Amino acid sequence: MTAQEFRDGRFVRQANRFTDKITADGSSGYPAESGRYRLYVSYACPWAHRTLIVRHLLRLHDVIGVTVADPIRDERGWRFPKDDPVTGSRFLSQLYVASDSSYEGRYTVPCLWDTRTRRLVTNDFPQITLTMETEFSAYHSADAPDLYPEELRPEIDEINEVIFHNVNNGVYKAGFARSQQAYEEAFDALFATLDELERRLATRRYLLGDRITEADVRLFPTLVRFDSVYHGHFKCNLRRLVDYPNLWAYTRDLYQQPSFHETTNFDHIKRHYYLTHPHLNPTGIVPKGPALDWTAPTGRDQLAPHETTEPGAGEAARAAEAVAAAEAAAAEASRT
């Protein structure tokens, strides 16, 4: 992390440098074509995890190739276990420098490399999954789910915004906080949102009802890491995931589906977090636990289909208020 990623003791995630878009019609200059783009990921990274889940759900294995980085990262950034078969690179940083010789930020996953122009098209992780879901639709398998249906996009976008600020990025804001106030702001917003999600999932199998959407794909990577990493390593310890009956069953329900468990690697996850954050874990000891039964029955498939326009919108609005409150507190603190 760089000094630019902290403000008044608060962790501020760096902006994504590469934000070009791949489009179905090619109007962006980057047409959606089979075999043209390479996805670079780490099993440890939650932002990359969501791209692997979507690639699997949509059966894009033969359309978008993938290179997986080693979970242990040093000052040179993500490295590959052996030379990347597409670029010949050993470090992800080489792709960034090849695309922008003046680049000075962190070298992040996920990112998409264009084999035609030999440059990074995007490391804009919120957009990559949406691109797979919308611009690569011609390549989806016949039975692939519609993860971003037009009629649900406003509600998906609304809940995704809350989940990003308070949960996905919220655990990082708590874990990397450099002041007590910054930590408590992130901590309180995180658990307020988890409480709202627990109530929401009492009456519906997935966040938007009886179908998996982009919202579930974004929430799952944080939840599946929660008890193994974020609860202790990032001090998000008010409650564990297993202490939330609905959230715990919901996460197991997703995990028991191939696209989720086949892209989850707890060995990579734990080694990455506990071995690459020496300021949080100076001994480098990787915990053996926790012992969690991810295969236990969930009963989630028995929940009745739920109209997504009922109480969920109100719950998302209340969670959004937590975001606004945290931002207001941050702004007030910066003025004092």
- Catalytic residue, from 40, 45, 107, 274: name it: 45
Evaluate if residue 221 carries a pLDDT over 70.
yes
Residue type, 296: A
In this prediction, residue 299 carries a pLDDT of 96
Q: Which two tokens stand for residue 89?
A: 């690179």
Return contacts of 142-145, CB within 8 angstroms, 24+ apart: 144/57, 144/58, 144/59, 145/57, 145/58, 145/211, 145/212
In this prediction, residue 3 carries a pLDDT of 47
Q: Strand, coil or helix: what is 118?
A: coil
**Domains by residue range for the chain, with CATH:** 3-139 (3.40.30.10), 150-335 (1.20.1050.10)
pLDDT digits (tens, 9 = 90+) for 169-210: 999 999 999 999 999 999 999 999 999 999 999 999 999 999
Q: In the predicted model, what is the mean pLDDT of residues 238-261?
A: 98
Strands 37-41 and 65-68: parallel
- Catalytic residue, from 30, 172, 183, 273: name it: 172
Q: In the predicted model, what is the mean pLDDT of residues 267-286?
A: 97
Catalytic annotation present for 236:
no
Residue type, 307: E
Beta strands in 111-197 (DSSP E): 111-114, 119-122
pLDDT band (50, 70, 90) for residue 304:
low
Evaluate if residue 249 carries a pLDDT over 90.
yes
In this prediction, residue 256 carries a pLDDT of 98
Evaluate if residue 309 carries a pLDDT over 60.
no
Return contacts of 288-291, CB within 8 angstroms, 24+ apart: 289/228, 290/227, 290/228
Which distant-in-sequence residues (6+ apart) come within 8 Å of 3 by Cβ? none
Q: Which two tokens stand for residue 204?
A: 């519906």
Evaluate if residue 336 carries a pLDDT over 90.
no
Q: Which two tokens stand for residue 303?
A: 């929940």
Mean residue pLDDT of the chain comes to: 92
Query: Is-contact 174 235, C-beta < 8 A?
Result: yes
- Torsion sign across C-alpha atoms 234, 235, 238, 243: positive
How many Å is the maximal CA-CA distance in the chain? Answer: 57
